[in-house]
Amino acid sequence: MKRPGKVLHVTKGRMLLVKATTAPPINSKVFNNKGREIGYVYDVFGPVKAPYVLVRTRENPEKVKHEVRGRVYFLSSSKKRRFSNWREMRRK
């Protein structure tokens, strides 16, 4: 499942600032509307209901901003780590 976000601007650190509908996991992949990977989630901050996301891009962020035309998608993974007991969790 993909969750949409809107690109607001390029930061001084050469990352994209995106306003998301829900908080994506850190290091999750970010795609444009054509399904091409443009980067990954570097940081999530702000209010829980409408978080802001910093996206580190693989290419020049100015070029990517014009390419995505304001809309990006986060790949959500349904794969979660589960531990059968607390001892097993501490070992990993």
pTM for this predicted structure: 0.75
Helix, strand and coil percent figures for the chain, each rounded to 5: 15, 40, 45
User: In this structure, which topology does domain 2-91 adopt according to CATH?
Assistant: Thrombin, subunit H (2.40.10)
Q: Is 39 exposed, middle or buried (0-12, 13-18, 19+ CB in 10 A)?
A: buried
Q: Quote the pLDDT of residue 19.
A: 94
Domain extents in the chain: 2-91
DSSP string, 55-69: EEESS-HHHHHHHHT
pLDDT in tens, 45-89: 999 888 999 999 988 888 887 877 778 888 865 555 555 555 555
Cβ atoms of residues 57 and 39 within 8 Å: yes
